[in-house]
Amino acid sequence: MVKKILVVDDSIAAVKMMQGILDEGGFLSVGLSDPLRIEETITTEHPGLILLDVVMPQRNGFQICRDLKGNALFGGIPVILVSSKNTSSDKFWGQQQGADAYIAKPFTAEELLETVRRFA
């Protein structure tokens, strides 16, 4: 069974780029550019993994990750943070929010797929 992956980034171009990599890697992807609709989308799409940008308006990825991991319905879904924020303190903070992995932008297709496969 192909694992469905939810890709969340406020940049539609970034969403499409990651979806292209995932689709070519044999995964089924769903894109979302509105961070305020993530819980709604998880409820309707039932992803097995979430790729989540950090720097987004209204609600950043750290907040979303913390909210998801603290929610009994969503807490078991692995979350991979994908961000241009790539200092060791950013990665540590992501881990503290419950992230299962952290990928720094820019990344290669191989890096993305390798990280995703760890949770697939």
pLDDT for residue 120? 80
CATH of the domain at 30: 3.40.50.2300
Residue 33: give the domain boundaries.
Answer: 1-48
If one counts every other C-beta atom within 10 angstroms of the C-beta of residue 117, the result is 12
With respect to residue 11, please indicate whether it lies within any of the assigned structural domains: yes
Into how many domains does the chain fold? 1
With respect to residue 96, please indicate whether it lies within any of the assigned structural domains: no
Percent of the chain with pLDDT over 90: 93
With respect to residue 60, please indicate whether it lies within any of the assigned structural domains: no
108 token code pair:
């290669």
Condensed to tens digits (0 to 9), the pLDDT of residues 17-66 reads: 999 999 999 999 999 999 999 999 999 999 999 999 999 999 999 999 99
With respect to residue 92, please indicate whether it lies within any of the assigned structural domains: no
